[in-house]
Amino acid sequence: MNNLPVLVIDDDPRIADTLESILVYEGFPVLWASTGAEGLRLALTEEFCCILLDIHLPDMRGYDICRQLRNAGKYVLIILMSVENQEEDIVRGLKAGANDYLAKPFGLDELISRIHTHLHWQRVYQNMPLQPSRPTEEPPAPVDLKPQWKRPHAKKEQEQRTKSAEMPLLTRLAIRNGNNERKNTATHRIEALDRARINKWNQEFSEKLDERTDDPF
């Protein structure tokens, strides 16, 4: 059972009645305001665990109500409701200070689940211990991250890395690998030339590796 009620700010009495029925069934007392001005007055003077706020009201926009509540220091859970479901609408609502956004029509089970989830994490955060403003222990000694050794023959290895000119060729082979559709004669000829160049590079690289058989690894 929740001690604080839910405030529903919506000018449609049918929606308000539906929300009140499901919320009361879930153990939430409910107050209803049909105008933005009345809803804002209640939100500023009373305590609620959650505010279900419609964006389209006859006298105000839900965005403005949400913004005024945040500017007044009210950090109650606010869930915006609207038929507008475009990304820019959702982003605008979240930037105004809402905790969540539900596009109408929405499922009542989804609404209740979101309310319970938000309230649960509110309680978790409220019970978390505050982090100390400064460390209570001496900071660890700095670690020297400079390399203490170098691999032998670094210059040789640098020379043996794949040249930048080879990368487009390797990319083409990777993209075409396994794709046998719509290949014409010119495509097969290009692939044959590419693979010939790859075989040549492999042979040159193997010869370089043979020259290093006596090097420590």
202 and 157 Cβ atoms separated by less than 8 Å: no
> What is the rounded average pLDDT of the residues 80-85?
91
For the full predicted model, state whether its pTM sits above 0.75: no
- What's 6-126's CATH class? alpha beta
pLDDT value at 31 more than 90: yes
pLDDT (0 to 100) of residue 146: 57
Domain range list for the chain:
6-126, 155-210
Phi-psi map region of 153: left, alpha, beta (phi>0 left; psi -120 to 50 alpha): left
Question: What φ, ψ does residue 52 adopt, rounded to 5°?
Answer: -95, 110
At 136, the pLDDT band (50, 70, 90 cuts) reads very low
